[in-house]
Amino acid sequence: MRAQPTASHFVDGAYLEDEAGTPIDNVFAATGEVIARVHAATPAVIEAAMASAVRAQRVWAATSPAERGRVLRRAADIIRARNEELSALETLDTAKPIQETLVADAASGADALEWFGTLAPGLHGESVPLGGDFAYTVREPLGVCVGIGAWNYPTQIACWKAAPALACGNAMVFKPSELTPLCALKVAEIFIEAGAPTGLFNVVQGMGEAGAALATHPATAKVSLTGSVPTGAKVYASAAAGMRHVTMELGGKSPLLVFDDADLEDAVGGAMLGNFYSAGQICSNCTRVFVQAGIKARFLDRLVERTRAIRLGDPTDPATHMGPLVSYAQRDKVMNYIDIGRREGARIAIGGRAPQGEAFEKGAFVEPTVFDGVTDAMTIAREEIFGPVLSLLTFETEEEAVERANATPYGLAAGVFTRDLARGHRVAAALQAGIAWINTYNLTPVEEPFGGVKASGVGRENGRAAVEFYSQLKTVHVGMGRVESPY
Ligand code: NAD
């Protein structure tokens, strides 16, 4: 199985190679095969990418917003037309099941490009009457934005960052995660095919070092990172030193509160989606599931029963529900958390092992795992695991549940299942999170803003809110009378 790209980087409208960069092997974690090798960007590649983005941004900023919108919408159409091919690549890049990638990755990227493409012509300032004098505001692009991606949604992350950035008249240099270098290159190709100026969306490969070099480059106006909290802290600090704008989409340890009156099957389904989709490698997952005492036993029974039916296996098989984790290192990290959970006294209700048998021998698989009897102090209830590990906690009252749910440095997402309308809204209001779902979980359509509070991030992706993070206002005050001066 090979997925070797034409070259490692995509700069100024074409593939670019510099073999002097450290080689990075792309390993398909279902089989251990090396499916591609790219090279980390050398300083020369980074300079070329930044210089070409600076040039492209000038052209793009002078392009009419209607035309910018057309380019983005054409890119969306091309992505949709090539969904199958892009999904197959996404599955190779991430080892996520094709059943998911066909509906969740390129499709969501296309939605973002279409939506921001439609919004682009309407992005402008306003006029401010001042009784004689007046002012107007101009919504200006920031300049060259750097996007740095995590490995769980490589196509979606590239598009969620590029769509608002380009709609607002910026250029972007994007560095994918070193674990998933392939998908963003396709996005770059597609922008060219859609008619974007060369250099408007460049992709350079590399590890954290390349990300840091881009984030601190003198031509960088903004950094948008999707990644872990420790990386976010570093990138945010370096951006502060250069007074650059940021968007930080970071990790979480999100709570789901299931009340006695909830629809049991929906609540179980929500908890499973929010823990097992993408083998649990989703930042907004509800890894702490708080269930009210009255429904707890029934909830656990159904959760275990439905978890048993999850088909783990070859991610390229359309029947597979759950593939391996992205890498063997991630598998080891998750297995280590499972051991810690056991040692600290949580009870495994199902899963907890690397699955046995020939089909799993070479892959980074972990069984979907449910821990029961988890307490707030346990490591598995406090730290982000980023794997298919659900922790079940029990509560008695709403007040107690909300307080415990909020007792975390994170604040990305939260959820509540209840049939009581007032309680649903009350709990959503009280939970400290950038997004809270009532009677559903992990839906992130492009129309609604997405992002975290507390340690989970700064800024918002998607929705109109994203525009505020990719543009700035210039105020022009027009004097209509004589200048009154005491001098
Ligand atoms: P990571 O923090 O290890 O890496 C993220 C990216 O940052 C990678 O491209 C990496 O090369 C780069 N990087 C590392 N050090 C850097 C530095 N010093 N300067 C600049 N760039 C640097 O995260 P990961 O392991 O790839 O992804 C998993 C994490 O991402 C989890 O914590 C998860 O919750 C989070 N995540 C958040 C969201 C969200 O939208 N909030 C979405 C997906 C993943």
Given a cut of 90, whether residue 3 has pLDDT beyond it is yes
Given a cut of 90, whether residue 316 has pLDDT beyond it is yes
234 is catalytic: no
> Does 283 sit in the ligand 1 pocket, CB within 6 Å?
yes
The pick from 156, 226, 456 for probing ligand 1's pocket by mutation, whose C-beta has the most ligand atoms within 8 angstroms, reads 226
Per-residue pLDDT, averaged over 341-346, amounts to: 98
Q: By the 8 A CB rule, do 289 and 382 touch?
A: no
> Does 212 sit in the ligand 1 pocket, CB within 6 Å?
yes
pLDDT on residue 325: 98
Q: Nearest Cα to 386, choosing from 346, 432, 332, 455?
A: 332
> Is 270 marked within a binding site?
no
161 is catalytic: yes
Per-residue pLDDT, averaged over 133-147, amounts to: 98
> Is 229 marked within a binding site?
no
pLDDT on residue 412: 98
CATH class of 255-438: alpha beta
pLDDT on residue 264: 98
Percent of the chain clearing pLDDT 70 (strictly above): 100
> Is 286 marked within a binding site?
no
> Does 234 sit in the ligand 1 pocket, CB within 6 Å?
yes
Per-residue pLDDT, averaged over 168-183, amounts to: 98
CA separation for the pair 206, 178 (Å, rounded): 6
Per-residue pLDDT, averaged over 139-165, amounts to: 98
Specify the 3-state DSSP secondary structure of 325: coil
Residue 468 CB burial class (10 angstroms; 0-12, 13-18, ≥19): middle
Q: Give the active site residue among 168, 283, 296, 367.
A: 283
> At 1, is the pLDDT very low, low, confident or very high (cuts 50, 70, 90)?
confident
> Does 470 sit in the ligand 1 pocket, CB within 6 Å?
no
The CATH architecture that domain 9-251+456-474 belongs to is 3-Layer(aba) Sandwich (3.40)
Q: Nearest 5°: CA angle at 402, between 397 and 407?
A: 130
Specify the 3-state DSSP secondary structure of 267: helix
Q: Residue 428, CB half-sphere, CA atoms under 13 Å: how many?
A: 17
286 is catalytic: no
The string of pLDDT tens digits covering residues 198-249 is 999 999 999 999 999 999 999 999 999 999 999 999 999 999 999 999 999 9
> Is 453 marked within a binding site?
no
Q: Which residues of 120-156 are buried (b: 16+ CB within 10 A; e: fewer)?
A: beebebeeeeeeeeeeeeebebbbbbbbbbbbbbbbb
> At 270, is the pLDDT very low, low, confident or very high (cuts 50, 70, 90)?
very high
Determine the residue type at 4: Q
pLDDT on residue 39: 98
Distance 223 CA to ligand 1 centre (A): 13
Number of residues that make up the chain: 487
> Does 148 sit in the ligand 1 pocket, CB within 6 Å?
yes
Per-residue pLDDT, averaged over 471-481, amounts to: 98
Residue carrying structure tokens 């415990």:
404
> At 100, is the pLDDT very low, low, confident or very high (cuts 50, 70, 90)?
very high
Distance 175 CA to ligand 1 centre (A): 11
The string of pLDDT tens digits covering residues 281-303 is 999 999 999 999 999 999 999 99
pLDDT on residue 15: 98
User: What mean pLDDT value characterizes the chain?
Assistant: 98
CA separation for the pair 11, 174 (Å, rounded): 10
Percent of the chain clearing pLDDT 90 (strictly above): 100
Q: Nearest Cα to 281, choosing from 409, 53, 93?
A: 93
Stated pTM of the model: 0.98
> At 27, is the pLDDT very low, low, confident or very high (cuts 50, 70, 90)?
very high
> At 175, is the pLDDT very low, low, confident or very high (cuts 50, 70, 90)?
very high
Domain ranges of the chain: 9-251+456-474, 255-438
Q: By the 8 A CB rule, do 177 and 225 touch?
A: no
Task: Tally Cβ neighbours within 10 Å of residue 108.
Answer: 20
DSSP E strand boundaries for 56-181: 127-129, 134-141, 144-148, 171-175
> Does 207 sit in the ligand 1 pocket, CB within 6 Å?
yes
> Does 22 sit in the ligand 1 pocket, CB within 6 Å?
no
Distance 148 CA to ligand 1 centre (A): 8
The string of pLDDT tens digits covering residues 347-356 is 999 999 999 9
The string of pLDDT tens digits covering residues 29-49 is 999 999 999 999 999 999 999
> At 329, is the pLDDT very low, low, confident or very high (cuts 50, 70, 90)?
very high
> Is 362 marked within a binding site?
no
283 is catalytic: yes
